[in-house]
Amino acid sequence: MGATAFLVDFENATDVARKRTLLQGWSESTLRNTLNRNRLETMSDPDGPTLRRLLSGSILIRCELARRTAAAALEPQAPARQPTGRRPTAA
């Protein structure tokens, strides 16, 4: 098992809450890299409980990525500056 795999025990609410809080502090690139690492770890044919924790970790990472995407889509955008059609006048 690699040191960078992200494991979550979905049957333990404390573990889920702690890991969710941890993910919120990670950059998007770190989240994506960890998700890729989890994918690689699942290909190494881990035992049942480890596979379940790997997949649970991947689900939590995907949820955080989706949360950020939704939050960005809902943020009000700065209004675009509309051209006035007038030329600047010389002082």
Q: Is the pLDDT of residue 6 over 80?
A: yes
Question: For the segment 13-32, what is each residue's pLDDT rounded down to a tens digit?
Answer: 999 999 999 999 999 999 99
Q: How many domains does the chain have?
A: 1
Q: Is residue 6 part of a domain?
A: no
Residue 64 lies in domain: 13-74
Q: Is the pLDDT of residue 2 over 70?
A: no
Q: Is residue 81 part of a domain?
A: no
C-alpha–C-alpha distance, residues 57 and 10, integer Å: 9
Question: For the segment 55-78, what is each residue's pLDDT rounded down to a tens digit?
Answer: 999 999 999 999 999 999 988 776
C-alpha–C-alpha distance, residues 35 and 40, integer Å: 9
Residue 8 and residue 15 in contact, taking contact as beta carbons nearer than 8 Å: yes
pLDDT number for residue 76: 77
Q: What is the pTM of this model?
A: 0.76
